[in-house]
Amino acid sequence: MENDLGPIVSSSHLATGEMPALSEFEFGLILASQAFDRWIVRCMAAAGVTGVNAQDVLVLHAVNHRQRAKTLADICMVLSIEDTHVATYAIRKLEKIGLVVSGKAGKEKTVSITEKGEAACEKYRQIRERLLVKTAKTLGLSNEAASELAGELRALSGHYAQAARSAASL
């Protein structure tokens, strides 16, 4: 009976081609992306950092990663940020509230986490464990399956990136 309704999508006209399941996947991605953005902002607020958006939170976590200084190029590459101004704005905002600090390595400007930023990331991690990880485990998804799914998402992101480059040349 469920198949009579067709795939669950946000744009039925995109599900009429050769791969309607891709439209179904995209709808799931839209919902997950919106929910993820809301989650990370609210989790960071619960950790004591307010007035930040999802991009700011992602940049903060990227700067904190492995506790070593990052360049703007590093941050943009890891987070797939095309417009460096977006990352620069986030860094300035995080610096203003004392979560990161700018420095230099040779001629390159770097960004490092502060003690306050590291504490916020740790509090975020604790809240994430308590509120998200605990409930996500009820899905029965193993670490191996989640890792495999993550790999497939990264691979598919490459296809979207290539399609975007192709579309820009039309």
**β-sheet bridge partners, residue 100:** 113
pLDDT in tens, 63-73: 999 989 999 99
Q: Is the pLDDT score of 6 beyond 80?
A: no
Q: Average pLDDT of 53-80?
A: 97
Q: Is the pLDDT score of 1 beyond 70?
A: no
Q: Average pLDDT of 32-40?
A: 97
- Every domain of the chain and the residues it spans: 16-139
| Average pLDDT of the residues of the chain | 94
Residues 6+ apart with CB under 8 A from 128: 43
- Whole-model pTM over 0.85: yes
CATH class given for the domain over 16-139: mainly alpha
Confidence tier at 110 by pLDDT (50, 70, 90): very high
Q: Are 26 and 10 in contact (CB under 8 A)?
A: yes
**β-sheet bridge partners, residue 90:** none
